[in-house]
Amino acid sequence: MRYLPLTDADRAEMLAVVRAPSVEALFEDVPAATRLSGDLDLPPHQGELEVERALAGLAARNRAAGAGPFFCGAGAYRHHVPASVDHIIQRSEFLTSYTPYQPEIAQGTLQVLFEFQTQVAALTGLPVANASMYDGSTACAEAVMMAARVTRRRKAILSGGLHPHYAEAAWTLAHSAGVVTRRLPAAVDAERAVVEAIDTETACVVVQTPNVFGTASELGAIAEAAHAAGALMVVVTTEAVSFGLLKPPGAMGADIAVAEGQSIGNPLSFGGPYVGLFAAREAFVRQMPGRLCGETRDAEGRRGFVLTLSTREQHIRREKATSNICTNSGLCALAFSIHMTLLGETGLRRLAALNHARARRLRDALEALPRVEVLTPRFFNELALRLPRPAAAVVEALAAAGIVAGVPFSRLDPRAGLDDVLLVCATETTTDDDIAALARGLAAETAP
């Protein structure tokens, strides 16, 4: 077997040193009745060629996003990732290392994390960021828990503009810990309803911008209302490229900002692995979940980096930890950081502007369709459309014609009564031909 270096001669020699009569003897503590005598009913080992043939066969049965016109967003985004990003993250020293518990031989990973944290802090407009969460949705759920700890209150208001999967993931975690979540009705302009839902028992309001319908909002008034009631504002962003064009959460009064970082450096990969960004005001740093990398000095006074404030974490604090997270999204954070370094300020701003410009082109093309209504007034690169019939059926019909038209809102939340709403997204990868194809397809599918 190509991955197992021990030979039978090695094994015999090692058994002699161990003084075991057989390998079987090493498993003596396993109850005899439960020891398997033969192989399980699974295929035997296979060579690279055979495994590749089988799995490439499965891959070929999928329609890759890049295979034609494609308009899905809603929490995961198709962007161009520079070739060097994927090359660097496959270096053995990044790919096959562990969490940097021994800082003297993990300065590569640690410096990357310090740079990543600084980039995330800059993007979100908040002073401190952690070394990543699993994804945007779990970062959001952890933010709700953190707000409950900070305020010692047990109620969270979730905007109706929050991605329904995020709301559900937040409910799961909050509910188990006895924190109540109140989810406001889904609407394109759901942020308008948030302020009046805040009361003096509210730990936090969770608002998303751009929201799941694509609406970009000024959240300053919500922050003011939350702070006046002693609550925190958590701002969620699922499209990290928007940080290059839109006012950051920190500038609108966010106490905690969480985001899905997939857009920068990471492929769609059918939903994971992604990378959750988590930033907060400095005063809350000891209540933050996840790993934090900090600067220090070595015995000769040279700058170096270590994991720090670990007294918040599970391996030290156990049941009193701020979170149970251990493994996070290190390599995805590296990909994010490399891509962000390649972009730089200029590149990110251009990329964001380009996305917005493509989405406006898309809006213009769809607005011209007589039976399609564009619902989102101010957007970054996503729009909600109202169709004259259920969006799911339209998407299915267009998929058969080779066009992936977007995400029917009913796929995310079938109970919202928004079956006729279609979410569409354009990025720098969307061409004029793609847009024309979608417009033609939608025109045909919505014809009376």
Partner 1 sequence: MTVLSVGRPTRPESATQTPSASRGHGLVQEEPLIFELGGWDKSGVDLPKPALDAADLGDLVRCEPIGLPGLSEPETLRHYVRLSQKNHAIDLAMYPLGSCTMKHNPRLGEKLARLPGFADLHPLQPLQTVQGALELMDALAHWLKTLTGLPAVALSPKAGAHGELCGLLAIRAAHEARGDARRTVLAPTSAHGTNPATAALAGYAVTEIGQTADGHVDLADLAAKLGPHVAAVMVTNPNTCGLFEREVLEIARLTHAAGAYFYCDGANFNAIVGRVRPGDLGVDAMHINLHKTFSTPHGGGGPGAGPVVFSAALAPYAPRPWLVRGPQGLALAEHASGEAAAGFGRLCAFHGQMGMYVRALAYMMSHGADGLRQVAEDAVLAANYVKARLSGALTPAFPQGFCMHEALFDDAWLEGTGISTLDVAKALIDEGFHPMTMYFPLVVHGAMLIEPTESEPKRELDRFCDALLELAGAVRAGDVARFKGAPYFAPLRRLDETAAARRPRLAWTPEAPTPQPS
- Classify residue 65 by burial, with Cβ atoms within 10 Å: 0-12, 13-18, 19+: middle
Complex with partner 1: residue 104 or 199, whichever CB lies closer: 104
Residue with token string 């001669």: 9
Smallest gap from residue 343 Cβ to partner 1 (A): 5
Residue placing its CB nearer to partner 1 in the complex, 301 or 448: 301
Q: How far is the CB of 212 from partner 1 (least distance, A)?
A: 11
- CA pair distance 103, 304, nearest whole angstrom: 8
Q: How far is the CB of 232 from partner 1 (least distance, A)?
A: 20
Comparing CA positions, the residue from 231, 286, 270, 238 lying closest to residue 254 is 231
For residue 398, how many C-alpha atoms fall within 13 Å in the half-sphere facing its CB? 29
User: Minimum CB separation from partner 1 for residue 271, in Å?
Assistant: 3
DSSP SS3 for 327: coil
Q: Is the dihedral of CA 258, 259, 264, 267 positive or negative?
A: positive
CB 423 within 8 A of CB 73: yes
The SS3 assignment for 23 reads helix
Residue type at 392?
Answer: A
Q: By C-beta, is 199 or 294 nearer to partner 1?
A: 294
Between 90 and 200, CB nearer to partner 1: 90
Q: Which is nearer to partner 1, 130 or 151 (CB)?
A: 130
Instruction: Look at residues 314, 318, 185, 323 and name the one whose alpha carbon lies nearest to residue 258.
Output: 323
Q: Least distance to partner 1 from the beta carbon of 371, Å?
A: 21
Contacts of 325 (CB under 8 A, 6+ apart): 133, 134, 142, 289, 290, 291, 314
Shortest Å, Cβ 448 to partner 1: 24
| Calpha distance 218→182 (Å, rounded) | 22
Q: How far is the CB of 14 from partner 1 (least distance, A)?
A: 4
Between CA 348 and CA 248 the distance in angstroms is: 14
